[in-house]
Amino acid sequence: MSRSDPTNLQPFVDRLLARSVLTPDEIQAILALPVHPVEVRGQTDFVQVNEKTSCACFIASGMVARFGETRDGQRQITAFHIPGDMVDLNSVVRPIAVGGLTTLCNTTILEVPHTAIRALAVRYPAVAEAFWRDTMLDAAILMQWVVNVGKQRAKTRLAHIFCEMAIRLGGDRQILQEYDFPVSQERLAEAAGMTGVHVNRSLKALREEGLVTVKRYSVKIHDWQRLAQTGEFEADYLVADTGTDRRARLLAGD
C-alpha cells in the first residue's frame, strides 16, 4: 500500500476536521487517545459477524472490508475502509459488530479502547458530535450502496465503486485517476452483489469502452466523465454541504 505509515491518529483528526470544527484542545485530546498498534496480514478476518468488541480500529495503512454473510457462507461486502478511517467507531455505542471485518492486504491497525473514546465524548461535546458525524458519513455511503446493489446493472455497479474509491482515496477533494485497490475480481463480486465470472466480463466491457482498466490490485481511470456517467455517480453524498430547504415549503400548509 502507498501512503505514509503514521503511528498516530493525525490522519483521523484531519478526516474529522474536513467536516467538523474542533478547538486545539479537543484536537490534542484526540491525539492523546491511547492506541495499541496491531499488524494484520492480508485476507484475515479480524472481527466476526455479531462479535462483541471493546475497541475501535483506526486504519494506519492497508485496507479493510466490512461484510455480511448468508447462511451458506456467501459474503456481501458492505463497505471498503481506507487509511485514515476509524472503522467500527459505531461500536463505541453499539459494541456488537454489524458485520465482520477482513483485511484486503497487510494492514496496520491502531486499536483504541471504547472506554477512552467514550470518556472523550463525554468531556468534549464537539468531539462527540464529530464522531457521530463521521459514522453518519459511513451510513450515507452505505445507503448509496443499497441503491447501487439493488437497482443498477453490473457495469454501473462496478463503475460506481471505482468512482467512490477514487474520491475517497483522494481525500474527498481530488479525484484520483489511478490508485491501488487490493481486491481480486472475486472480492469485487462480493461487493457488487454478483459473481466473479460476471465481474470479469463487465470489467472487460468497461476496459474496451475505454473507461477504466482494473489490473491486479490497481485501478486506472481513463475517462472520469464517462465512468461517472456509467456508474450514475454523484459525489454529493460524500462531500455534501449544499442543497435547498424544500421541506419547509412543502410542509408549510399544516
Partner DNA sequence: GCACTATCATAAACTAGGTTAACTCGCGTG
Partner DNA sequence: CACGCGAGTTAACCTAGTTTATGATAGTGC
- Which residues inside 22-81 make contact with a second copy, applying CB under 8 A? 36-40, 44, 46-48, 50-55, 66, 68-71, 74-76, 78
CB closer to a second copy, 9 vs 176: 9
Does 242 contact a second copy by CB under 8 A? yes
Q: Pick from a second copy, DNA, none: which does 196 bind, CB < 5 to 8 A by kind?
A: DNA
Residues near a second copy (CB under 8 A), total? 76
Site residues for DNA per CB under 7 A? 43, 153-155, 184-186, 193-198, 200-204, 216
For a second copy, which residue of 99, 164, 187, 202 counts as binding (CB under 8 A)?
Answer: 99
C-alpha cell at 158: 462496478
Q: Which of the listed partners (DNA, a second copy, none) does 186 bind, with a CB threshold of 5 to 8 Å by partner kind?
A: DNA
Q: Which does 108 bind (CB under 5 to 8 A by kind): DNA, a second copy, none?
A: none
Q: Per CB under 8 A, does 224 bind a second copy?
A: no
For the CB of residue 68, give the shortest distance to a second copy in the complex, in Å.
4
Backbone angles phi, psi at 61, to 5 degrees: -155, 155
CB atoms within 10 A of CB 180: 17
Decide the pairing of beta strands 86-87 and 107-113: unpaired
Residue 252, C-beta contacts closer than 8 angstroms, at least 6 positions apart? none
Q: Of 29, 98, 116, 175, which one interacts with a second copy (CB under 8 A)? A: 98
* Residue number, 194 or 214, with CB nearest to a second copy: 194
Cell of 208: 474496451
3-state secondary structure of 66: strand
In the complex with DNA, the residue whose CB is nearer, 19 or 207, is 207
Residue selected from 1, 6, 113, 132 as contacting a second copy according to rule CB under 8 A: 132
Q: Which of DNA, a second copy, none binds 146 (CB below 5-8 Å, type-dependent)?
A: a second copy
Between 74 and 115, CB nearer to DNA: 74
Tell the burial category of 139 from Cβ atoms under 10 Å away from its Cβ (0-12, 13-18, 19+).
exposed
Cα dist. 126→10, 20, 66 in Å?
A: 17, 8, 28
Which grid coordinates are listed for 147?
A: 441503491
H-helix or E-strand spanning residue 214: strand 212-215
DSSP string, 99-149: SEEEESS-EEEEEEEHHHHHHHHHH-HHHHHHHHHHHHHHHHHHHHHHHHH
Residues within window 176-195 making contact with a second copy, judged by CB under 8 A = 192-193
